[in-house]
Chains A and B, each alone.
Chain A
Amino acid sequence: MRSLRLIRIAAWTAAATIGSVVIGLTVLAPDAPGIATNIVSSGPSAIGGPFTLTSHHGETVSNESLAGKPYLAFFGFTHCPDICPTTLFELTDLARELDEYADRLNVLFITVDPERDTQELLQGYMTSFDRRFLAVRGTQAQTDAVVAAFAAHVQKVPLESGGYTMDHTAGVYMIDAEGGFVGTLDMHEPRETRMRKLRRLTGA
């Protein structure tokens, strides 16, 4: 009776192991470069598509000017005291660990609030983060275009106290040197996972 039970447990354990290996392979497979390309080409339009913005230094930054180097892009605004500076700080921290490999990467903080985030304000704001990072802004039309280019969600929400806040996509987009969308960095996933993605993106 007891040995029967043991056999049953062993059988279930084996089944569970095989099952999890199969699930593991299915989940991991899209990470393979070949398959990732397929996903991008069949994805909702080309993420990272045409956009033109101006950096906090005053230079033009477009999908064309960025070509040849992978880049990270995320949406935010300086009136957000909570999630946006945390993302910028954590990226600063990851860039420090990547060290010189971070030179192979551009990092864009795209403001979704060009009305309040003037170039002057962004200049002051960015002095607190990795100096290689670029805060980029555009006219409202250019901002709408970049939001569409990344299939991002941005919405202006009026507040009762006057003023407004911005809802925006929280993830960090990873774009390769050819301008193709590779995936996203989630600031809630383990640091090691994010580092692994960045090493793969920069060839570190």
Chain B
Amino acid sequence: MPFRLHRILLAAMLAWPASLAPALAHEFKARTIIINHPWSRATPAVAPSAGGYFTVINTGTEPDRLVSIASPLAERVEIHESSIVDGVARMRPLPHGIEIAAGETVELQPGKIHLMFIRPSAPLVEGERFDATLFFEKAGDVDVEFAVQGMGTRPANSESHEDHRTHAQ
């Protein structure tokens, strides 16, 4: 009897995080790299650029680096970091890409590190998806799909960040 109870509890525990995951969450893998939920925001009707965000997890024992990105959507894709320093908004390219240390998680999100799709061929509409390829120094190419969310979408809350980290371990 107690044996069976354990099994039910275990099943419930396994099902729990899945039921909490947002409906749009999707994941891509290449070797030790996991790309969690690539997403973008709907752009204004005329927008010279669009942002791109995801969580990248390095489950390996060596650092890796996201060096570049390509997408049929845009003329080119750059990696940028936004910040607000002393009340002034800044944006700087990260020409050497993003290093993901062994066992680390890096979150790309609005107002922080993000991708910038330059001159998208069409405005991004909520609910649509578009392709992109991420190039990692060690993990190689990862084909991903960005889900376009509403214009007001904010980054996932800190709780789900914790969630991602737990998954990585």
Contact = CB atoms under 8 A, between A and B. Distances in A.
A93 B153 CA distance: 12
Interface residues of B, number: 30
Interface in B67-88: 78, 80, 82, 84, 87-88
A85 B44 contact: yes
A132 B164 CA distance: 40
Nearest to B117: A81
B45 A82 contact: no
A169 B84 CA distance: 9
B8 interface: no
A79 interface: yes
Nearest to A123: B46
A126 B41 CA distance: 16
Given A93-B152, A161-B78, A161-B93, A86 B110 contact: yes
A86 B88 CA distance: 15
Contacts, number: 91
A167 B151 contact: no
Contacts of B57: none
Contacts of B43: 81, 85, 128
A82 B44 contact: no
Contacts of B45: 124-125, 127-128
Given A83-B111, A86-B111, A90-B152, A169 B47 contact: no
A101 interface: no
5 contacts: A81-B116, A121-B48, A128-B44, A153-B88, A170-B89
